[in-house]
Amino acid sequence: MFTTSALALAGCAGPGASESSDGPSIVATTTQVGDFTRELLGEQGTLTQLLQPNQSAHSFDPSAAQLRALASADALVVNGAGLETWIDDAISASGFSGDLIDASTGIELHGTHEHEEGEDEHAEDEHAEDEHAEEGEDHEHEHAEGNPHIWTDPALAEVMVQNIAAGLEQIDGIDAAQIEANETAYLDKLTALDDWIRENVDQVPADKRLLVTNHDAFTYFVEAYGITFVGSVIPSFDDNAEPSAAEIDELVAKIKATGVKAVFSEASISPKTAETIAREAGVEVFSGDDALYGDSLGVEGSPGATYIGSQIHNVTRILQSWGVEPSALPAVLQG
C-alpha cells in the first residue's frame, strides 16, 4: 500500500522521465504504453514511465519519486484491462487529478486457453472514459476481467495507440495536429508489422504452429496468427504465480505428445522452471538473449527496447523454433 507521506521524499519526475521539461506532464504505467505514448508525443511534454524494462506489471510498488510525478501529472496513460491492479492505490496516494487515458477502451478481453470449448471467454468491457478530471474527482474504477496482455496482437496495439492519441489530443498544451501526424506514421508501422508477421507465420503448416511460453501472456498473439498454444510454464496471467509439480508434469506430457520443439522463457521472468521443463521434455529452451519479451520491453540497446523491436524479436525466435527463416523486414520497419 502507498501513503501520501511518501510524496515528501520525492524529488523530481523519477525513473523513466523524458528529458524535456516543457509542456504537459504525462505519466505512463507499463513499458508498452510508455513506448506508444513516447511515439505519439515526440518532443512534446514530459513523459514519466513507471514500469522499467524487464519489470513485471503484475506486482509493482511505485517509488516516492514516481508518486510525486503522478501527483503533478496532467494525464495518466494505463494499459487497462485489469493489468495494473495497484493503480487505484497509486492514484489515491498521490492525489492525481488529471486525465485518465485507458488504452484498452473498446477491446474485448479473452480468457485463458484453459477454457473448454463453448465456455464464455468474454468479459464485460468496463473502462473509465477519457475525460478531463475535475479537482478531487474519484478515479477509482472497475477492473476488467480477462487476459490483459492485449498488446501482443499488433492489431490491438493499433487500437491502443488510437485510444492514447485521442486522450492526448485533449490535454491542454498538447499540439493535437502533431499527435495526429505521429499517430498516422506509427500506425503505418504497426500495420506493416502485422502484415510481416502474418506473411511469415503463414509459411508454416497450421498443425506445426505450436507454442509453449513462460506464462499465459500471448493469448491475443496466438489467436491473431492461428498458432496453437500448447501450454505455459506458469498457467496463469500473473507471472508471479508458481506451477505445481502436477502442472509441470502435465505440460511435459503435452510437449512430448504434440511434438513441440521448444519452450520459451520470457525476459522479465526467471528461466529456471522453463529450462527444467524443456530438459525433461527433451526440447530446446529459448532463454537469456533469446527469451521472448512478454510483460515488459527490454533495456535500451536490446532487440526488445521498443514495442516493434520486441515483436520482431519474438516472431524471429518463434519462427526459428519452427525451422523457418523470416523474410526481410518492410522498409518502414528498417533502421
The answer to whether the beta carbons of residues 292 and 266 sit under 8 Å apart is yes
User: Can you give the chain as a three-state secondary structure string?
Assistant: CCCHHHHHHCCCCCCCECCCCCCCEEEECCHHHHHHHHHHHCCCCEEEECCCCCCCCCCCCCCHHHHHHHHCCCEEEECCCCCCCCHHHHHHHHCCCCEEEECCCCCCECCCCCCCCCCCCCECCCCCCCCCCCCCCCCCCCCCCCCCCHHHCHHHHHHHHHHHHHHHCCCCCCCHHHHHHHHHHHHHHHHHHHHHHHHHHCCCCHHHCEEEEEECCCHHHHHHCCCEEEEEEECCCCCCCCCCHHHHHHHHHHHHHHCCCEEECECCCCCHHHHHHHHHHCCEEECHHHCECCCCCCCCCCCCCCHHHHHHHHHHHHHHHCCCCCCCCCHHHCC
The mean per-residue pLDDT over the stretch 267-294 comes to 94
pLDDT band at 240 (very low <50, low <70, confident <90, very high): low
The mean per-residue pLDDT over the stretch 141-153 comes to 80
| 216 and 178 together in one domain | no
User: Would you state the pLDDT for residue 58?
Assistant: 76
Q: Last residue of a domain, which of 130, 159, 194?
A: 194
pLDDT greater at residue 133 or residue 106: 106
| 213 and 130 together in one domain | no
Predicted TM-score (pTM) of the model is 0.85
The answer to whether the beta carbons of residues 215 and 239 sit under 8 Å apart is yes
pLDDT band at 237 (very low <50, low <70, confident <90, very high): low
The answer to whether the beta carbons of residues 101 and 163 sit under 8 Å apart is yes
Give CA–CA dist 306/299, Å, rounded.
Answer: 9
Task: State the CATH number of the domain containing residue 64.
Answer: 3.40.50.1980
pLDDT greater at residue 312 or residue 61: 312
User: Would you state the pLDDT for residue 270?
Assistant: 87
User: Would you state the pLDDT for residue 12?
Assistant: 31
pLDDT digits (tens, 9 = 90+) for 298-310: 999 999 999 999 9
Number of structural domains (the chain) is 2
Range of the domain at 263: 203-333
| 174 and 217 together in one domain | no
| 181 and 106 together in one domain | yes
Identify the weakest region by mean pLDDT among 155-169, 186-200, 270-284.
270-284
The mean per-residue pLDDT over the stretch 274-278 comes to 94
| 14 and 121 together in one domain | yes
pLDDT band at 114 (very low <50, low <70, confident <90, very high): very low
| 55 and 116 together in one domain | yes
| 123 and 220 together in one domain | no
| 160 and 35 together in one domain | yes
User: Would you state the pLDDT for residue 134?
Assistant: 37
Q: Last residue of a domain, which of 194, 221, 255?
A: 194
| 126 and 258 together in one domain | no
User: Would you state the pLDDT for residue 57?
Assistant: 81
User: Would you state the pLDDT for residue 238?
Assistant: 54
| 126 and 20 together in one domain | yes
- Among candidates 67, 63, 70, 75, which has minimal Cα distance to 99? 75
The mean per-residue pLDDT over the stretch 279-294 comes to 96
The mean per-residue pLDDT over the stretch 3-13 comes to 32
How many residues in the chain?
Answer: 335
Q: Last residue of a domain, which of 194, 218, 241?
A: 194
Cell output for 72: 503533478
The set of residues, in sequence order, having a beta carbon less than 8 Å from that of 334 and lying 6+ positions away, is: none
User: Would you state the pLDDT for residue 236?
Assistant: 57
Identify the weakest region by mean pLDDT among 35-44, 145-154, 183-192, 241-250.
241-250
Name the amino acid, one letter, at 133: A
Q: Is the pLDDT of residue 21 over 80?
A: no
Give CA–CA dist 227/203, Å, rounded.
Answer: 12
| 147 and 265 together in one domain | no
| 175 and 224 together in one domain | no
Give CA–CA dist 135/96, Å, rounded.
Answer: 9
